[in-house]
Structure 1
């Protein structure tokens, strides 16, 4: 196995991890600040991907499709928060799980009613359809490099927003002591609505950017939601830094193990056994990683400081 293949897979893991971060960042903010378990977070990712695909087919502009998906999903998320989720904040986690699971079913059926059962196509922009030579002999798709760049930019933006701005101070204050923040003049209800809308927009960004690489189809949010929960458990609930580190760990471990494990198993087993067993073991490794982190650091790698 040569260095080019390993480098390509490492970049794929970085790209996948940064897209997981876009999902996990909004999820950890909602979970850490509002103490709200939102199983419908993956449905916002699906809605964003469908909006982007629909606008791209109507306008022919990928940039316009991404912007429309961001705005539309943020508005949809804030509407959900105001009309339904706000009533669940004081309920126990079981009620939140049941209510947001019902939202998953409603969103899936709503998408079927609007766009049909068949997957939608979201094409890569023509200007980014080719490869870029990063090193002699190492070519990597330009579109995947764009995803990596966007993910890093969003991570930097979130760090500055949470740690260096007044809104970030309000968010941290609301997460630490909701009653005290209210007494100090922070409009907690409005803050929660904005945070939820921002998290929905991050879901839409991930969905619209991954749309050209994955199928835009009903139920696409459920599988990636599981990984997002794994990320925030590894990184620490409520921690943006933890979400970034956890996302990169999950992305790299999942992608590299799917490439390296079959090659290692071929040294001790037949090619057929290695091809079947390798991906299965690779899919287990991220949960082994989560179990190890929970054993040594039950609060996650970088728990949010209360």
Structure 2
């Protein structure tokens, strides 16, 4: 029991940090630019495929560098020659534009790599047990993901809150004219922010591809949870995205191993309730069966109780 608790906790933290790595780019883009990028999950998927292709050709370490750089450059060009042109028409135009980009990425991935998943595996240099947790060997790659995600959070938080460039970026969102009069190129700042956000999505794809199945469906599988993380944490809040990611990661990880139903709870407290007397078939539904919808139940509760999220400064 103690072993399962420890392993589930560590797995939940690592899954949550991987979600944060993915959500951090979207949080950065929305928090600094006010743009809700619907193509972010598709950029993550493209990063996973690029990581697979580069790893197969020249190795995982080059993929870890070249994949995010390619996505970052592509994101910067996308903002400069696409998003900037529709920005003047309002948020609806931005949402439609990024939705179209997501659709184009999806189709491009299927045309190049096919509709079936690719065999993106953990790199051999990290495919070994780092330590033993009780009697279970724990893979080094998962700890690598954890360390990298923590480094990303510390780096982003330090840059945005402690550095001059972070001050310029935050000021450019609320007072762009004043920042421009001080000699800073505001459009270039926004292009840099969007490029970094896209690069973070690509990095999450390169890292997460070997853990999850790298297939054309991966954007849809994690896209909804990604936006759930951002809303629960608070729109534009980096610490909020971190806490929400950890909460969702731990809740889902523990839920999938809990084969306990409401009927078991009723029997445990000594009440004899036959199926159908209270809630029908719902009584026999286990927590593991409803694990995929738990993040969205958390989102629903958050929207009712605190619409601005855990650390957000504005309502959804």
Same fold at TM > 0.5 = yes
Whole-angstrom CA distance in 2 between matches of 1:196 and 1:275: 47
Alignment of 1:299 with 2:297, yes or no, is: no
Whole-angstrom CA distance in 2 between matches of 1:286 and 1:264: 18
Conservation of the 8 A alpha-carbon contact between 1:18 and 1:248: yes
Whole-angstrom CA distance in 1 between matches of 2:15 and 2:172: 31
Whole-angstrom CA distance in 2 between matches of 1:276 and 1:287: 17
Distance apart, 1:264 and its partner CA: 5.4
Q: How do 1:1-306 and structure 2 match up within 5 A?
A: 2-59=1-58, 61-260=59-258, 262-263=259-260, 267-268=264-265, 277-304=286-313
The 1:198–1:304 alpha-carbon spacing in structure 2 relative to 1, beyond 3 Å, is farther
* Larger mean Cα displacement after TM superposition, 199-208 or 84-93: 84-93
The 1:167–1:274 alpha-carbon spacing in structure 2 relative to 1, beyond 3 Å, is farther
Aligned pair count? 301
TM-score normalised by the chain length of structure 1: 0.90
| CA displacement 1:216-266 (0-9 Å, x = unmatched) | 222421221211111111111111111111111111112112222x24558
| CA displacement 1:160-184 (0-9 Å, x = unmatched) | 1111111111121123333332233
TM-score normalised by the chain length of structure 2: 0.88
Bigger radius of gyration, 1 or 2? 2
Whole-angstrom CA distance in 2 between matches of 1:279 and 1:81: 41
Whole-angstrom CA distance in 1 between matches of 2:217 and 2:88: 29
The 1:7–1:194 alpha-carbon spacing in structure 2 relative to 1, beyond 3 Å, is same
Whole-angstrom CA distance in 2 between matches of 1:92 and 1:280: 41
SS at match of 1:133: strand
| CA displacement 1:43-91 (0-9 Å, x = unmatched) | 11011111110111112x1111111111111111111111111122222
The 1:119–1:136 alpha-carbon spacing in structure 2 relative to 1, beyond 3 Å, is closer
CA RMSD after TM alignment? 2.3
SS at match of 1:278: coil
Name the structure with the higher helix share: 1
